[in-house]
Amino acid sequence: MATITTSQSGQIETETAPRRLVIPHGLASHLQATPLLLILGFFFVLPILTIVVVSFWDYDFAGLYPDFLTMNYADTLGSWVTWKTYLNTLKFTVLVWALTLSIGFWVAYFLAFHVRTTTMQMVLFLVCTVPFLTSNIIRMISWIPVLGRNGLVNSTLIELGLIPQPIEWLLYSDFAVVLAMVHLNTLFMVTPIFNTLMRIDRSLIEAARDCGASGGQILWNVILPLAKPGMAIGSIFVVTLVMADFSTVQVMSGGQSASVALMMKNQMSLLQYPAAAANAVVLLIVVLSMVAAILRVVDIRKEL
Amino acid sequence: MTTENKTEKPGAGLTRRSLLKTGAAAIGAIAGSGAITGFPTIWAQNPITLRQFGTGVSNINAIAEKCKQDLGITLEMTATDSDAAAQRAVTQPDSYDIADIEYWIAKKVFPAGVMQPMDVKKIKYFDKIVPLFIDGKLKPESVVAQGTAPHTVGFVDAQDSKTFAKSPTDWMTLIPTIYNADTLGIRPDLVGREITTWADIMDPAFKGKTAILNIPSIGIMDAAMIMEAMGNIKYADKGNMTTDEIDKTIDFLIKAKQDGQFRAFWKSFDESVNLMASGEVVIQSMWSPAVAAVRSKGIACKYQPLKEGYRAWGGGLGLAAHLQGAQLDAAYEYINWYLSGWVGAYLNRQGYYSAAMETAKGFMSEDEWGFWVEGKPAKGDILSPEGKVMEKAGAVRDGGSFEERMGKVACWNSVMDEDRYMIKRWNEFIAA
């Protein structure tokens, strides 16, 4: 982005005739960056600043009162509920991340290396995206009749005589939450990994094979390192989505489990906006440091 | 996360503002000339709009349509959840003309001075309003229930007063709209025994097959009914617990949750219906329309009366402080129409109760009145206001007659002095 702007402004400068109005070099590039700056400023920086400001305000049920109190942060960080909820959310994040990464990698691997024709690759890739044609709430809720006490899985297993009575932990449990999240988020892993795998120069693999590398060695020493940027991008998607999730946790745990976003939603529905804002700031810091950690490990610019 | 369903009835092709202006001017002129005789025709010729928002009857479009037809008043209705309603009532008093709020919300809202009380002399059917809302007693010998009983916040001392009166005065805060007595819903085919008390929800036999609702202000009341029924505690006032009582109640809930007693906690109507219909739970806190919804799927479900009594709730219509002149007159006209029977019959047919039962009777068939209000077996099929069959001939309403049900109210939905502490602890229960 930055390189394009400078080269363009350079062009403008060389093309302008002496009698025309000369736009100074710096100003032109600033002008060109202005639209993006305005959009980000209004729709990103300003809202976040508002959240930060409100998180220091006082409140009661009827309104918000501008102030500078650290009470909201003290309440948030000083309560074991917050810590427990963060731990719970982190637990979901780690589980879902590990599962989506391994499933996503193998799906992408299959698409990229086992499917021969490009047409077939694209067809199969589109098949992967088919579930996205319905809303993710529907995809989540449709697990309920499958997993329920009298649901598809339980009734089938009972009819086959495999289990004497329904398995209770299938629905309204951590299992159900993780299952639904993996189902919802795997594609976010598949897409970027598939993209990086497709860019791997096939001659590298041939070279490795010529040098006598086994299939496992090729995978471990050639493909995985080259797929890292895609895995990192997918991880960023999945981690941020799971950390900020509230509906999946609420629906699939039957309200029995808590997540950070659900805690915020509860606070907002009780009109405790400053408390929710403080919570949001804490969550933002946590998620940003997780993203920073991912970027530390993998240089995603290699791909871009 | 508030859901707002805005139903705007088509006006006469004018903007609301211009309608208000011309309407108000015209009414003013007519009022000045002393020509006020038949209100309905006047409103019909000079349409006026009242903006009503809230939790209860604001969800029912049929009422707005009928009101337009009978009075010519356009009702612009916005439905919200109760927390949003409380906030909006206080923080945006100019955004509504009529607030449709629950009594416990009124306890929070009225002292803020954003509403005006109603002059009972202008309310035509005031003496027909069920005495439960006047002195808290359904019958003279009844005991006043705990919690935010409607009569405790039903009156203020004077027109400009913000403090609730101890006994009925000439200034009423809310005109009751709908109210009901809530209890536990059960699956009679799956519980396998008689359910008689709130304590039955904690029976180890139902481990992993129970649910309570995750709306703190109501859930805590259900929990209180359960605690007291089990003999764990005796509350001075379930509707206004001390922090110590809150601690005991929540600790008990946390323990039950960790022992796996609950299958789920539900937040919305449809969740409660699905939990029950799918057999995930066999006994849970429930609302009466949800019981009807489960039954309409052909699944047995009973709104089980329990010996400790019911948890009741009720809402009403209140006037915004800014209403004056023609709009205020229109609001009174609307409220008088509201109490005159058609709406009451409509609400009774939905399984709720209405403010002036006597007037509603005239708009219901003998069989409907017998089934919904007197607790008699239905002679023919009982239809919902939309014409769907709700109960087959021979059915009897769970809990029996109006007097049996509303006469056994143990507590009303309420707002506690220790509200914030309670909500904090409730969140711990959900996170535990």
pLDDT of residue B2: 42
Query: Is the CATH number of domain A80-302 1.10.3720.10?
Result: yes
Q: Which residue of chain B is at minimal alpha-carbon distance from A145?
A: B278
Q: Does A258 contact B83 at a Cβ distance shorter than 8 Å?
A: no
Strands (E), chain A: 58-59, 64-65
A258 contacts in chain B (CB < 8 Å): 427, 430-431
pLDDT of residue B83: 77
Question: Higher model confidence: residue B16 or residue A248?
Answer: A248
pLDDT (tens digit per residue) in B277-311:
999 999 999 988 889 889 888 899 999 999 999 99
- Bridge partners (DSSP) of residue B147 are B412
Burial A178-211 (b: 16+ CB within 10 A, else e): bbbbbbbbbbbbbbbbbbbbeeeeeeebeebeee
Residue B214 has its nearest CB partner, among A144, A148, A255, at: A255
pLDDT (tens digit per residue) in B172-190:
999 999 999 999 999 999 9
| pLDDT range class, residue A18, cuts 50, 70, 90 | low
Q: What is the DSSP string of B296-328?
A: HTT---EEE--TT-EEEEEEEEEEETT--HHHH
| pLDDT range class, residue B45, cuts 50, 70, 90 | low
B211 contacts in chain A (CB < 8 Å): 254
Picking from A101-110, A170-179, A286-295, B2-11, which range would have the lowest pLDDT averaged per residue?
B2-11
Q: Which residue of chain A is at minimal alpha-carbon distance from B81?
A: A269
pLDDT of residue B217: 83
Query: If you average pLDDT over residues B257-265, what whole number do you get?
Result: 92
pLDDT of residue A255: 85
pLDDT of residue A62: 67
B275 contacts in chain A (CB < 8 Å): 254
Q: Looking at the predicted structure, is the pLDDT value of residue A204 above 50?
A: yes
Residue B280 has its nearest CB partner, among A84, A149, A268, at: A149
Largest pairwise CA distance in chain A: 91
Q: Looking at the predicted structure, is the pLDDT value of residue A78 above 90?
A: no
Measured distance CA(B307)–CA(B404) in Å, rounded:
12
Nearest in space to B357 (alpha carbons), one of B286, B405, B419, B318: B405
pLDDT of residue B293: 87
Q: Is B262 part of the contact surface with chain A (CB cutoff 8 Å)?
A: yes
Picking from A75-79, A180-184, B176-180, which range would have the lowest pLDDT averaged per residue?
A75-79
Q: Does A254 contact B211 at a Cβ distance shorter than 8 Å?
A: yes
pLDDT of residue A94: 96
Q: Looking at the predicted structure, is the pLDDT value of residue B3 above 50?
A: no
Q: Which residue has the tokens 């239905």?
A: B378
Q: Looking at the predicted structure, is the pLDDT value of residue A14 above 70?
A: no
CA distance B35 to chain A (A): 43
ipTM, 2 dp: 0.71
Residue B428 has its nearest CB partner, among A81, A149, A250, at: A81
- Tokens at residue B314, please? 């009720």
* Range list of H helices, B115-242: 188-191, 216-229
Query: If you average pLDDT over residues B51-72, what whole number do you get?
Result: 88
Q: Give every CB contact of residue A2 below 8 A, 6+ residues apart in sequence.
A: none
Q: Is B381 part of the contact surface with chain A (CB cutoff 8 Å)?
A: no
Q: Looking at the predicted structure, is the pLDDT value of residue B254 above 90?
A: yes
Q: Looking at the predicted structure, is the pLDDT value of residue A298 above 80?
A: yes
pTM value is 0.76
CA distance A151 to chain B (A): 8
| pLDDT range class, residue B276, cuts 50, 70, 90 | very high
Q: Which helix (H) or strand (E) holds B73?
A: strand B73-79
Contacts 24+ apart (CB under 8 A), B395-401: B395/B371, B396/B371, B397/B371, B397/B372, B398/B291, B398/B302, B398/B303, B398/B304, B398/B305, B399/B181, B399/B183, B399/B303, B399/B305, B399/B310, B399/B375, B400/B305, B400/B375, B401/B373, B401/B374, B401/B375
Q: Does B87 contact A265 at a Cβ distance shorter than 8 Å?
A: no
| pLDDT range class, residue B338, cuts 50, 70, 90 | very high
Q: Is B258 part of the contact surface with chain A (CB cutoff 8 Å)?
A: no
| pLDDT range class, residue A243, cuts 50, 70, 90 | very high
Q: Kindly list the structural domains of chain B, giving each domain's residue range(s) and its CATH number in brackets, ordered by start.
A: 41-180+312-361 (3.40.190.10), 184-308+401-431 (3.40.190.10)
Q: Looking at the predicted structure, is the pLDDT value of residue B111 above 70?
A: yes
pLDDT of residue A116: 86
Query: If you average pLDDT over residues A121-130, what whole number do you get?
Result: 89
- Chain centroid to Cα B303, Å, comes to 17
Q: Does A61 contact B86 at a Cβ distance shorter than 8 Å?
A: yes
Q: What is the DSSP string of B207-253?
A: TTSEEEE--HHHHHHHHHHHHHHTTS---S-TTS--HHHHHHHHHHH
Q: How far is CA A79 from CA A75, A205, B90, B116, B428, in A?
A: 6, 54, 30, 41, 9
Query: If you average pLDDT over residues A200-219, what whole number do you get?
Result: 91
CA distance B226 to chain A (A): 19
Q: Does A85 contact B431 at a Cβ distance shorter than 8 Å?
A: yes
pLDDT (tens digit per residue) in B212-229:
998 888 899 999 999 999
Mean pLDDT of chain B: 86
Q: Give every CB contact of residue B418 below 8 A, 6+ residues apart in sequence.
A: B240, B241, B242, B243, B246
Query: If you average pLDDT over residues A3-14, what whole number do you get?
Result: 45
Picking from A6-10, A189-193, A235-239, B181-185, which range would have the lowest pLDDT averaged per residue?
A6-10
Burial B213-228 (b: 16+ CB within 10 A, else e): bbbbbbbbbbbbbbbb
